[in-house]
Chains A and B, each alone.
Chain A
Amino acid sequence: MTKKSKYLDIFCREADEHLASLQQGLLALEREPANAELIHELLRNAHTLKGSAQMLGFADISAIGHRMEDLLKDVEGGKRQVSAPVIDLLLKGNDAITRMMRALTECQESPVNIEQFVAAFDRGEFTGGEFKESQASNEVGIGETVRAKVTTLDSLVNLVGELIINQRRFENRSASLKRLCTGTGNLSQAHELQAFSRGLEEDVLYQGFLIQELHGKAMALRMLPLKTITEEFRRMVRDLAREQGKEAELVVTGENIELDRVLLENLKPMLLHMLRNSIDHGLESAEERLMRGKPAQGTIRIAARYDGNSVRVDVRDDGRGIDPLQLKQTALQRGVIDKEEADLLRDDEALYLILRPGFSTSDEVTDLSGRGVGMDVVKNNIEQVKGTLALASEVGQYTEITLHLPLTLSVIEALLLVSAGQSFAVPLNYVQETMKIRGDELASVGGKEVITVRGVTTPLVSLATMLGLPEKKRFQQGGKIALVILKFRGHCLACSVDENIGSSEIVVKGLGMQLKSVAFISGATILGDGEPALILNVPDLFASAEGAATGKFRQAFEESLAVISRGKVLVVDDSITTRTMERSILLSHGYEVEIAISGEDALEKVAGRRFDLVISDIEMPGINGFELTKRLRGLEEYRDVPIMIVSSLSRDEDKRKAMEAGAQAYIIKGSFEQGALLDTVESLIG
Chain B
Amino acid sequence: MGDKMDEKKRGGYEIGAILHEMREEYWQGLSAVEESQGEQLECVSFLLGGELFAFETTSAAEVIRIPRLVKVPRVQELIVGVFNLRGEITAAIDIRPLLGLPSPPITASGRIIVVKGDKFKTGLLVESVRGVESFSLEGFEPVVQSLSGTQREFIRGQIRLEEQLVVLLDVVKLMKAPEILVEQQ
On A, residues with C-beta under 8 Å from B are 155, 157-159, 161-162, 420, 422-423, 467-469, 509-521, 524, 526, 530-534
Contact = CB atoms under 8 A, between A and B. Distances in A.
Contacts of A533: 70
Given A517-B184, A521-B73, A512 B91 contact: yes
B182 A526 contact: no
B70 A512 contact: no
B73 A469 contact: yes
A509 B72 CA distance: 15
B121 to A, nearest CB: 8
A521 B185 CA distance: 12
B181 A516 contact: yes
Contact of B89 (A469, A512, A517): A512
Interface stretch (B42-50, B79-87, B104-112, B143-151): B79-87
- B: contact size bracket: 20 to 34
A531 B89 CA distance: 10
Given A511-B82, A512-B120, A532-B83, A520 B89 contact: no
29 contacts: A155-B87, A161-B86, A162-B87, A420-B71, A422-B70, A467-B73, A468-B74, A469-B73, A509-B88, A512-B88, A512-B120, A513-B120, A514-B120, A515-B72, A515-B75, A515-B91, A515-B181, A517-B183, A517-B185, A518-B74, A518-B75, A519-B73, A519-B185, A520-B73, A524-B89, A526-B89, A531-B84, A534-B70, A534-B82
A510 B88 CA distance: 9
A407 to B, nearest CB: 14
Contacts of A468: 73-74
A234 to B, nearest CB: 38
Contacts of A155: 87
Contacts of A521: 72-73
Nearest to B119: A513
A373 B75 CA distance: 42
B70 A157 contact: no
A511 B89 contact: yes
Contacts of B86: 158-159, 161-162
A514 B115 CA distance: 12
B89 A532 contact: yes
Nearest to B86: A162
A155 B87 CA distance: 8
Contact of B82 (A158, A420, A530, A532): A532
B72 A161 contact: no
Given A512-B89, A531-B70, A517 B182 contact: yes
Given A512-B120, A521-B72, A531-B70, A157 B89 contact: no
A173 to B, nearest CB: 10
Contacts of A526: 84, 87, 89
Nearest to B9: A169
Contacts of B74: 467-468, 518-520
Quick one: which of A422, A469, A509 has the most chain B CB within 10 A? A422
B71 A422 contact: yes
| Interface class of chain A by DSSP | mixed
B122 interface: yes
B180 interface: yes
Interface in B90-121: 90-91, 119-120
A531 B73 contact: no
A37 to B, nearest CB: 53
A161 B87 contact: yes
A420 B181 CA distance: 24
A161 B82 CA distance: 17
Given A514-B91, A520-B74, 18 more contacts: A158-B87, A158-B88, A159-B86, A159-B87, A161-B86, A162-B87, A423-B70, A468-B74, A509-B88, A511-B91, A512-B88, A512-B120, A518-B73, A518-B74, A519-B185, A531-B70, A532-B83, A532-B89
Contacts of A514: 90-91, 119-120, 122, 180-182
A71 B81 CA distance: 72
A268 B83 CA distance: 35
B70 A532 contact: yes
Contacts of A511: 82, 89, 91
A521 B71 CA distance: 11
Contacts of A519: 73-74, 184-185
Contacts of B89: 509-512, 515, 524, 526, 532
Contact of A516 (B79, B83, B183): B183
Contacts of B72: 515, 518, 521, 534
Nearest to A467: B73
B68 interface: yes
A419 to B, nearest CB: 10
B172 to A, nearest CB: 15
Nearest to B69: A532
A161 B84 CA distance: 10
B7 to A, nearest CB: 15
B40 to A, nearest CB: 31
A404 B75 CA distance: 26
Nearest to B123: A514
Contact of A532 (B79, B84, B119, B181): B84
Contacts of A420: 71
A420 B70 CA distance: 11
A531 B90 CA distance: 12
Contacts of B83: 532
Contacts of A510: 89
Question: Lowest 4 CB-CB distances: which A-B pairs, in order?
Answer: A158-B87, A467-B73, A513-B120, A513-B119
A368 B27 CA distance: 71
Nearest to B87: A158
B76 to A, nearest CB: 11
Nearest to B90: A512
Contacts of B185: 517, 519
A468 to B, nearest CB: 5
Contacts of B88: 158, 509, 512
A515 B119 CA distance: 11
B82 A515 contact: yes
A531 B120 contact: no
Nearest to B88: A158
Contacts of B180: 514
Contact of A518 (B70, B122, B184): B184
B162 to A, nearest CB: 38
Interface string B145-185: 00000000000000000000000000000000000111111
